[in-house]
Structure 1
Amino acid sequence: MNPQPQPSNAFIAASWVALLAGLAAFIIGLWNAAMPLNEKGYYFTVLMYGLFSAISLQKSVRDRLEGIPVTNIYYGLSWFSTVLCILLLTVGLWNATLTLSEKGFYAMSFLLSMFAAIAVQKNTRDSQRSGVAQ
């Protein structure tokens, strides 16, 4: 196993800023949205599920690359969950009575949050491997 270089402080900071910006934008958008509470709850749940599934997928893919055992069922579920949450958001936004700009806003902040969650998890793992706590 080759030692991984520690991520730079700039990349760590950028990852956290992207995660917080994506989450804040999505949640503030929901807070201010003129939609029923149950619809807001749906989008919030899809966001949280998406973050968890993206991190889980990143971890299982990386574990496999590093020779750490990952069962096929967990690996498959990680992929399925990530695709499912993107599909759930897409179907929800497709059927929502929102303007196209609002739909785009939610889609982009969702994808930014998912990407940033993966980057933060990667940075955390790389920092722990190099002996530096994050």
Structure 2
Amino acid sequence: MSELKENPLLKNEERKPKTKVERKEGEPTAAFKGASWAALVVGVSAYLIGLFNAGMELNEKGYYFAVLVFGLYAAVSLQKAVRDKEEEIPVSGIYYGLSWFAVIVAISLMAIGLYNAGSIILSEKGFYAMSFVLSIFAAITIQKNIRDTQMAKERDS
């Protein structure tokens, strides 16, 4: 019968108001920020581990590494340029155009490299393509989260 009695500690815990983390209007949730960073870490790590373990020449590995770094930078740059333009922050036409061009070139270089890679089996090609896309998407999302957080803090100040 005593086993059915309520636990007084649990009852006290239930009475305490739960503290809610203050989040400013427009700021992404901590879960979304964490998921974005996790996606970037998983995507880049998977790509680099696969590259490290690949049985290809060092110059090929260097090519795929350079394409990843270039793609990440180009995607973040494009996200910033598009957002600036949307928010009517001055963006030069050449920077905006170069940002689009760089993303297109990075994706094209990855596609052309994988298409012409004779030493990589089809499933590995898919692995590199998917981890590349995941990494680029995560980098864009992280840039957006950082920008949204900064804007929310500025609005609140």
TM-score above 0.5: yes
Q: Which has the higher contact order (CA 8 A, sep 6+)?
A: 1
Q: TM-score range by the shorter chain?
A: over 0.9
Kindly state the Cα deviation for residue 4 of structure 1 after the two structures are TM-superposed.
6.2
Per-residue CA shift, 1:80-103, capped at 9, x if unaligned? 000000000001000102111000
Q: Identify the residue that residue 46 of structure 1 maps to in structure 2.
A: 67
Per-residue CA shift, 1:41-66, capped at 9, x if unaligned? 00000000000000000000000000
Q: Identify the residue that residue 125 of structure 1 maps to in structure 2.
A: 147
Identity within the alignment, %: 59
TM-score, normalised via structure 1 length:
0.94
Task: Flag the 1:89–1:4 CA change in 2: closer, same or farther, 3 A.
Answer: farther
Amino acid at match of 1:93: L
Q: Structure 1: give runs of 5+ residues left out of the alignment.
A: none
Kindly state the Cα deviation for residue 128 of structure 1 after the two structures are TM-superposed.
1.2
- Runs of 4+ deviating beyond 4 Å: none
Q: Structure 2: give runs of 5+ residues left out of the alignment.
A: 1-23
**1:100 maps onto 2:122 in alignment:** yes
Number of residue pairs the alignment of both structures matches: 130
Equivalent-residue separation in structure 2 for 1:47 and 1:66 (angstroms)? 29
Per-residue CA shift, 1:4-26, capped at 9, x if unaligned? 60001110000000000000000
Q: Identify the residue that residue 31 of structure 1 maps to in structure 2.
A: 52
**1:6 maps onto 2:27 in alignment:** yes
